[in-house]
Amino acid sequence: AMMAARKRRLERTPRFLRRFVEDKPGPPKPFDPATRDPVMIFERLQQVSGMQAMAFAVLGEAELAIAASERLLKRAPPGSPHVAVASVPKILALMHMGRTRDLRATAEQATAIFERAGERLPPPLRIFWFLSLYLRGLGEALAGTTAWEQPAAKALALAERFDLPQERGFALLPALVRACLCGDPEGFARAYAAVEEITRRLGFPHVLNSRLRLWTPTYYLERGERELARATCTRLDALAKATRDTWIATYAAVYQGFDALSDGDLTRADALLTTACEGARTKKLGRLTTALCARGELLVSLRRFDEARPVLEEAFARATSPDTGTPYDEAIARRLMAHLPNEDA
């Protein structure tokens, strides 16, 4: 009866999906080139290309990651788990670029494919299922929307369901980011302590350890805790140099400019924020909007209104764009634009 039920279940599965689901859990069979099985060769090529795309996304090469992901998507059978897996590097790049609308659509499509496969999804692909949910929640939190909670909760449930210890820490990061941007002391303390404890127990894995500190300088600087912000930036700089992670290096440069501005060192702040804006623009980083707001605030303080106007107009356009908009940066840009001459306050 069990074998008959398994056969009926397999027959109900669309033919192009049958190779991507498993009847019993366990690692995939080792690849034997001598078989010359074209389907197995295709799968391995997709896996290698997917790893390359993911490496581009993790190390800050957003455009290369998206291009590699698009090439994978063109070769993947429509609606198959290959489509969902190939979408994850693109989702990561879109999250750092602050392109929330594209991120939301891509992540929803990938998650739907993973959920259709469910428990039959092979263990190596379950991490991508988790990433489609986690990165959606993190992107929504960075954009200032309230839609971050559901995907973050689903990601945490998935990490617990499949016993993924490091992923439990990642699933809590959207709550930490939300607390950092909102200045919520209780939410920050709760989320930071939980993620730090997981990081410590796992031996401080690089990616989780760096992401734990990637957004905390925003919280420290808003509260005037500049020593904590500087210490965190120093650690981020060291991590960026050790791993050649350009995402971390660009974030650290933006925070150092904020710190100089808060410290009143306007000459140093001008140089740092100019460099930070150029770096964020080169990397297509979503935090460019925040850096532009900080540079606009500096120029307004120096009464260099002719230079401040185009900077703040760009920041305001990005902050109100359907794709890159955030209410945090929009509020700051509006407040600063009211200080410009001949501006309708």
List pLDDT tens digits, range 304-319: 999 999 999 999 999 9
What's the one-letter identity of residue 335?
R
Q: Region 6-34: what's the mean pLDDT?
A: 55
Q: What is the pLDDT of residue 231?
A: 93
Q: Is the pTM of this model over 0.75?
A: yes
Residue 135 has pLDDT above 50, yes or no: yes
CB–CB of 81/114 below 8 Å? yes
Cα separation, 172 vs 194, whole angstroms? 8
Reported for 337-344, long-range contacts at CB under 8 A and 24+ positions apart, including other chains, are 337/312, 337/313, 339/300, 340/300, 340/305, 340/308, 340/309, 340/312, 341/305
Q: What is the pLDDT of residue 5?
A: 67
Q: Region 115-120: what's the mean pLDDT?
A: 85
Judged by average pLDDT, the poorest of 20-34, 101-115, 157-171, 309-323 is: 20-34
User: pLDDT category, 279, cuts 50, 70, 90?
Assistant: confident
Cα separation, 195 vs 120, whole angstroms? 30
List pLDDT tens digits, range 153-183: 999 999 999 888 999 999 999 999 999 988 8
Q: What is the pLDDT of residue 239?
A: 86
Q: Is 284 left (phi over 0), alpha (psi -120 to 50) or beta?
A: left
Q: Calculate the alpha carbon distances from 2 to 9, 19, 26, 61, 151 in Å.
A: 11, 21, 19, 49, 35
Q: What is the pLDDT of residue 339?
A: 87
Q: Region 268-283: what's the mean pLDDT?
A: 87
Higher pLDDT, 157 or 19: 157
Could you tell me what percent of the chain has a pLDDT over 90?
A: 37
Judged by average pLDDT, the poorest of 23-27, 128-132, 220-224, 228-232 is: 23-27
Higher pLDDT, 149 or 32: 149
Q: What is the pLDDT of residue 72?
A: 87
User: pLDDT category, 140, cuts 50, 70, 90?
Assistant: very high
Q: What is the pLDDT of residue 23?
A: 47
User: pLDDT category, 2, cuts 50, 70, 90?
Assistant: low
Q: What is the pLDDT of residue 210?
A: 87
Judged by average pLDDT, the poorest of 8-17, 30-39, 248-257, 261-270 is: 8-17
Cα separation, 64 vs 143, whole angstroms? 23
- Of the candidates 284, 335, 328, the one whose C-alpha atom is nearest the C-alpha of residue 141 is 328
The mean pLDDT value of the chain amounts to 85
Q: What is the pLDDT of residue 121?
A: 82
Cα separation, 72 vs 16, whole angstroms? 17
Higher pLDDT, 49 or 7: 49
